[in-house]
A and B are shown apart, each in its own frame.
Chain A
Amino acid sequence: MVKEIERAGIPVVHMCTVTPISMTVGANRIVPTVAIPHPLGNPNLPNDEEKALRRRLVDKALKALQTKVDDQTIFE
């Protein structure tokens, strides 16, 4: 899906936990996330900390969208 959206000319960032799959699929901008059932959250954290974690991850995704890449890139 990432690849088809990219092919249509829309910059796309893929946020996922198992980044090797994302590499295999062919995503160009990849942001690693927390865990498979809760990529952008952590149920073990109090609400405010979980939200802060999600902001940090979305920030990374936004940064990736603003970064020029020539090849598949994982934004750690």
Chain B
Amino acid sequence: MKKFRVVHYINQFFAQIGGEDMAHVPPEKREGVVGPGIAIQAALGDEAEIVATVICGDSYFGENMGKAEAEVLELIKSENPDIFIAGPAFNAGRYGVAAGTITSAVKRELGIPAVTGMYVENPGAEMYKDDVYIISTTNSAAGVRAAAPLMAKLALKLAKDEPIGASKEEGYLPNNVRKNFFEEKRGSARAVEMLEAKLAGKPYTTEYPMPDFDRVEPNPPVADLSQITIALVTSGGIVPKGNPDHIESSSASKFGEYSLDGFDDLTAETHETAHGGYDPVYANADADRVLPVDVLREYEKAGKIGKLHDKFYTTVGNGTAVASAKGFAEEIAKRLLAEKVGAVILTST
């Protein structure tokens, strides 16, 4: 039997080209398996072969989305694949967005089965889970052993045109597709069982999860900037030199509140970044590149804005849990309101 031809997509990190210092590398193609492709090949067995691996730097992809997508797609297409697999990207945000974008493009443009994998809180999951199959993974690369067999199995099923089971059977993130089927037990019996489980404090699974539409209405605009205080907040990890509160370089457990009193300009002597998810060279040399204190001070002196708030708020948005970020911002907002701050500029890397 002919083996299915598989092309695999990974980032510069998993290709062992380098970390954040190499995240700018443009797409390239290598013969055969690279990095996590080994685990996926093992799971594919004799039925399919990874003939090539396409690699792209996460920042290159994130900063040139349309162009990078076209370039990567061209490299994939040149191999005439039967199956495309991307990642898994775990909780790496740019990697997840790239994997989702490419998987979606391959499905749309090449019309072949395409599967990726990532952690449910990866922004790429929210963007693409309704469009492509995304195997649900853990938030760290240690989950590759569990993810690879699920990704391989689903990809092979798609390639062989076999029926695809529900998300919890196949391991993909729920994609809002519903299929009718006959339950063995009637609805009233299932409802009573669920209620009994709930009363007994036992686990149960709802058959109708409520949709999660968490959108916030935009606030009215600022009428007069010269009358208000503007605060700076960042997820880019800018901290006073030495990172006094030891904000973690990833999966941050806290935010920092630091004085801007007396600072007209952030410099390599006074500030740096604690963020471990991007190349820190540029922010360490001049943190105004992430937190524009210099320009806002100018505008404050010129009367263009009423005041730059004398404290800034910062955390590291690198693999940080959504629940943590939400908690930080609730507390930050409370403090800003108490200090009558009228508007916020929030920067992200």
Q: Are B346 and A35 in contact (CB under 8 A)?
A: no
Complex Cα spacing A55 to B298, Å? 10
List residues of chain B with CB within 8 A of the CB of A9.
219, 337
Q: Are B333 and A4 in contact (CB under 8 A)?
A: yes
In chain A, positions 55-76 with a C-beta closer than 8 Å to chain B are 55, 57-58, 61-62, 65-71
Q: Are A8 and B218 in contact (CB under 8 A)?
A: no
Chain A residue at minimum C-beta to C-beta distance from B344: A12
List residues of chain A with CB within 8 A of the CB of B23.
36
Known: A29-B218, A43-B282, A57-B292. A14 touches B348 (CB 8 A): yes
Q: Are B290 and A3 in contact (CB under 8 A)?
A: no
Q: Are B288 and A15 in contact (CB under 8 A)?
A: no
Known: A5-B329, A11-B219, A67-B221. A17 touches B63 (CB 8 A): yes
Size band of the B side of the interface? 35 or more
Q: Are B283 and A38 in contact (CB under 8 A)?
A: yes
Chain B residue at minimum C-beta to C-beta distance from A23: B127
Interchain nearest-CB distance for B279 vs A (Å): 5
Interchain nearest-CB distance for A16 vs B (Å): 4
Q: Are B220 and A68 in contact (CB under 8 A)?
A: yes
Known: A21-B97, A36-B59, A58-B345. A43 touches B222 (CB 8 A): no
Q: Are A1 and B216 in contact (CB under 8 A)?
A: no
Chain B residue at minimum C-beta to C-beta distance from A57: B292
Q: Are A11 and B349 in contact (CB under 8 A)?
A: no
Interchain nearest-CB distance for B328 vs A (Å): 7
Q: Taking the complex as formed, is B330 at the interface, i.e. its CB lies under 8 A from any CB of chain A?
A: yes
Chain B residue at minimum C-beta to C-beta distance from A6: B216
Chain B residue at minimum C-beta to C-beta distance from A73: B218
List residues of chain B with CB within 8 A of the CB of A15.
345-348
In chain B, positions 273-298 with a C-beta closer than 8 Å to chain A are 278-283, 285-286, 288-292, 294-296, 298
Q: Taking the complex as formed, is B33 at the interface, i.e. its CB lies under 8 A from any CB of chain A?
A: no
Interchain nearest-CB distance for B249 vs A (Å): 14
Chain B residue at minimum C-beta to C-beta distance from A33: B347
Chain A residue at minimum C-beta to C-beta distance from B225: A62
Q: Taking the complex as formed, is B264 at the interface, i.e. its CB lies under 8 A from any CB of chain A?
A: no
In chain A, positions 18-73 with a C-beta closer than 8 Å to chain B are 18, 20-22, 24-26, 28-29, 33, 35-41, 43, 51, 54-55, 57-58, 61-62, 65-71
Q: Are A4 and B347 in contact (CB under 8 A)?
A: no
Interchain nearest-CB distance for B268 vs A (Å): 12
Q: How many residues of A contact B (CB 8 A)?
A: 49
Q: Name the one of B94, B236, B346, B349 contacting A12, with C-beta atoms under 8 angstroms.
A: B346
Residues 292-318 of chain B, each 1 if its beta carbon lies under 8 Å from chain A, else 0: 101110110000110000000001010
Known: A15-B348, A20-B127. A5 touches B333 (CB 8 A): yes
Known: A10-B337, A10-B344, A29-B218. A40 touches B289 (CB 8 A): yes
Chain A residue at minimum C-beta to C-beta distance from B317: A1
Q: Are B343 and A65 in contact (CB under 8 A)?
A: yes
Between-chain CB contacts (< 8 Å), 5 pairs: A3-B216, A6-B216, A10-B342, A17-B348, A39-B290
For the A-B complex with A12-B343, A36-B59 known, give 14 more contacts whose Cβ atoms are closer than 8 Å: A1-B332, A4-B329, A4-B333, A5-B346, A11-B222, A16-B347, A16-B349, A17-B348, A18-B62, A20-B97, A41-B282, A41-B289, A57-B292, A58-B299
- Chain B: residues with CB nearer than 8 A to chain A? 20, 23, 59, 62-63, 65, 93-94, 97, 123, 126-127, 214-223, 225, 230, 233, 235-236, 278-283, 285-286, 288-292, 294-296, 298-299, 304-305, 315, 317, 325-326, 328-330, 332-334, 336-337, 341-349
